[in-house]
Structure 1
Amino acid sequence: MAHPVVHWEVAGPDREVLRIFYEGLFGWKSETVDENYALLQPGEGPGGGIMCTRPGMPPYVTVYVRVEDLERALKRVRELGGELRVPPAKIGNGMAFALFTDPAGNMVGLLTTAVT
């Protein structure tokens, strides 16, 4: 697969409530990154995260797809009728992400490790 799903995310107004819920429901292990984010390891498949949404931001569940060139992928998103929701931002060491909505309004993330 040229563009695999490499991460997923569940977001809502209370990260801790969501973390406890998913740990209790599925037995997933979590690692707190900061007060707004925790990484989840389900044991199989790609890992995910629990995020605290900002005020006015709705809860969501999304997947992140790996791409080589974030700007090129976002240009294609717009050409195909999608809309940029969160502009590219660097995270971690050498990574960047962006979020867009598809024509139906579904939130999808893009993740690249090709950041210098």
Structure 2
Amino acid sequence: MSDFTAPAWIDITATNPVAAREFYTQLFGWRLQLVEALNYALVQPDKNTLPGGIGQQNEVRPAGVVTYFSVPDLEAAVAKAESLGGRIAVPPWEVPGLGRMAIILDLDANRIGLWQD
């Protein structure tokens, strides 16, 4: 049995976040809450919607979608990913008051997020 659980968060990074927010709002009926200081809109989850957000692409955050998966031990999950041939894209860091996260690259350089409460 795996220590990994269901997806916990979806992060969409866009070159034009205003257009992306409109697109996903109309496509999926998402309700968004804009955090202006971060230029990041939080997806308001409901029983059929995974929590997440839509933000601005920049030199640190390439455009794309990252799905975060919950793990019980972030360092162990990062180490396991590396032992399997993955690479670290964003090393573990703390989201104050919420948890810790990291982004790895799988064997095809797909960005996968890891999240520990």
TM-score, scaled to structure 1: 0.85
Alignment correspondent of 1:99: 103
The 2-side partners of 1:101 and 1:111 are apart by 15
The 1-side partners of 2:12 and 2:98 are apart by 23
Alignment correspondent of 2:19: 17
Q: 1:7-46: CA deviations, max 9, x gaps?
A: 1111112222211111122211001123331111353142
Aligned length: 113
The answer (yes or no) to whether the contact 2:13–2:61 under 8 Å persists in 1 is: no
Alignment correspondent of 1:39: 42
In the alignment, residue 14 of structure 1 is paired with which amino acid? N
SS in 2 for 1:72: helix
Alignment correspondent of 2:92: 88
Percent of aligned pairs with the same residue? 32
In the alignment, residue 39 of structure 2 is paired with which amino acid? N
Q: Which runs of no fewer than 5 residues in structure 1 stay unpaired? A: none
2:64 is equivalent to residue 60 of structure 1 = yes
The 1-side partners of 2:34 and 2:20 are apart by 12
| Between 23-32 and 34-43, the greater mean CA deviation after superposition | 34-43
TM-score, scaled to structure 2: 0.85
Alignment correspondent of 1:79: 83
The 1-side partners of 2:67 and 2:44 are apart by 15
Q: Which runs of no fewer than 5 residues in structure 2 stay unpaired? A: none
SS in 2 for 1:93: coil
Report the Cα offset of residue 111 of structure 1. 0.6
Question: Structure 1 residues 33, 65: CA separation in 2 closer, same or farther (over 3 Å shift)?
Answer: same
